[in-house]
Amino acid sequence: MAEVLLSIGYDTEKPYGELARTAEGSAMRREQIRFDKRLIEELDSLGAPRTFFMLGDYLQVAAREYSHDELRAVYNPCNPLSDIQSHTYSHCVVRNISGRDDKKPLTVEDFEADLIMANKCLKDILGVDVSGLRMPLGYDSDFSDMPGILGVLRRQGFVYVSSNLREKGAIRSTVTTKRQPHTYEHVGFPDLAEIPSHGWADAIFTEDYCKRYGHRKIGSLGARDHYVSLISLAKDLSVKHEQDIYVSLCLHPWAVREFDSDFGVHRAIVSHLRNVGGKIITYSDVSNRIKRLLGSSTAASQNNEIPIQA
Ligand SMILES: [Zn+2]
């Protein structure tokens, strides 16, 4: 039977850049790391597989104040529920994004150097070899028109990228039978998958972003209703079209800390998903699964999917 497959990605990044290197950044980081530990313990108690997309710069500055062992104890790369991947080194972009003139696109060469630096940080500090990438900010289209970028990803050992994260002019996107993970086979990269995200990027549930985008405050209840309705919509689509429907969320620990400090929204998401017979898998599982379905030779041979516990 067709089912709903939810993957939850946490873009783990703040503080980074100049702020990260100040006393204020240091205090912010301590609070955030304390919260991340609680978040991961909560996900463990919910039996929820998850993907943490770690920013190299965030991790590197954190490693000045925390030992590698301390950071590994928090982000827990050996936990079977845990999938740790890259969010680039510097939070860079490779296209212009309307409304974000502060972000200048990197050249293909500089982008590759940025990814190499991030991979090294993740390997040195957390001991992980990454194969998945979440693009910072994200775009309203995928990378089908950017073979140079896809070439970099292949060269650096990536098997999936999550780059299509928004609609024109909004940090959200809907779930449809078309807006689903796929490979880049049509442009010559059959071993590379795109995993688009669905729903609002959770930053919108924070006060700062509400102001920036001129929204009224949405808050925890609004967030809960949003994610629950997204899962209901996916369930309806899976029944109507007899097709598995993937829902991939774009969350941020720094935003979760504000809109879901007691994890009520997380519990509601997991409980509703369970009610509709859905399953939580990691982004890496999504990538492996769609390639297996398409018969790709590079899909991981073993199935790491862990069904959500009843
Ligand atoms: Zn980010």
> Residue with structure tokens 């104890």?
73
Task: Determine contact, residues 179/173, Cβ cutoff 8 Å.
Answer: yes
Residue-averaged pLDDT of the chain: 93
Structure tokens at 121: 């940080």
Is 95 a member of any domain?
yes
**Which element (helix H / strand E) includes 193?**
strand 189-194
Before 15, cis peptide (omega within 30)?
A: yes
Is 36 a member of any domain?
yes
> How close is the Cα of 239 to the center of ligand 1, in Å?
33
Structure tokens at 192: 């590379």
* Whole-number pLDDT of residue 211: 80
User: How far apart (Å, rounded) are the C-alpha atoms in residues 246 and 228?
Assistant: 14
Average pLDDT over residues 74-89: 97
Beta bridge partners of 250: 9
Q: Which domain holds residue 172?
A: 7-200+285-294
User: How far apart (Å, rounded) are the C-alpha atoms in residues 135 and 193?
Assistant: 13
Is 66 a member of any domain?
yes
> How close is the Cα of 137 to the center of ligand 1, in Å?
6
Beta bridge partners of 200: 172
* Whole-number pLDDT of residue 303: 47
First to last CA, the chain: 18
Structure tokens at 11: 């873009």
Does pLDDT of 206 surpass 50?
A: yes
Q: What number of other Cβ atoms are within 10 A of residue 144's Cβ? A: 14
> How close is the Cα of 90 to the center of ligand 1, in Å?
10
CATH code of the domain covering residue 32: 3.20.110.10
Average pLDDT over residues 112-123: 98
**Which element (helix H / strand E) includes 231?**
helix 219-241
> Residue with structure tokens 């959770």?
202
* Whole-number pLDDT of residue 232: 98
Model confidence at 292, pLDDT cuts 50, 70, 90, reads: confident
Does pLDDT of 38 surpass 90?
A: yes
Q: Measuring CA to CA, which residue among 281, 201, 199, 299 is closest to residue 5?
A: 281
* Whole-number pLDDT of residue 305: 55
Q: What number of other Cβ atoms are within 10 A of residue 306's Cβ? A: 16
> How close is the Cα of 289 to the center of ligand 1, in Å?
25
- Total domains in the chain come to 1
Q: Measuring CA to CA, which residue among 245, 207, 244, 247 is closest to residue 230?
A: 247
Average pLDDT over residues 276-287: 98
Is 180 a member of any domain?
yes
Average pLDDT over residues 162-180: 91
> How close is the Cα of 295 to the center of ligand 1, in Å?
32
Higher pLDDT, 101 or 297: 101
> How close is the Cα of 251 to the center of ligand 1, in Å?
9
Is 90 a member of any domain?
yes
Helix (H, G, I), strand (E, B) or coil at 172: strand
> How close is the Cα of 74 to the center of ligand 1, in Å?
19
Does pLDDT of 198 surpass 60?
A: yes
pLDDT 10s digits, 225-254: 999 999 999 999 999 999 999 999 999 999
* Whole-number pLDDT of residue 31: 98
> How close is the Cα of 68 to the center of ligand 1, in Å?
22
Is 251 a member of any domain?
no
Is 239 a member of any domain?
no
Is 83 a member of any domain?
yes
CA distances to 2, 3, 173, 276, 290 from 239, in Å: 7, 8, 21, 11, 19
Instruction: Give all strands (DSSP E) within the chain, no chain letters.
Output: 4-12, 50-54, 82-86, 132-139, 160-164, 172-173, 182-184, 189-194, 199-200, 245-251, 279-280
Higher pLDDT, 97 or 32: 32
* Whole-number pLDDT of residue 307: 46
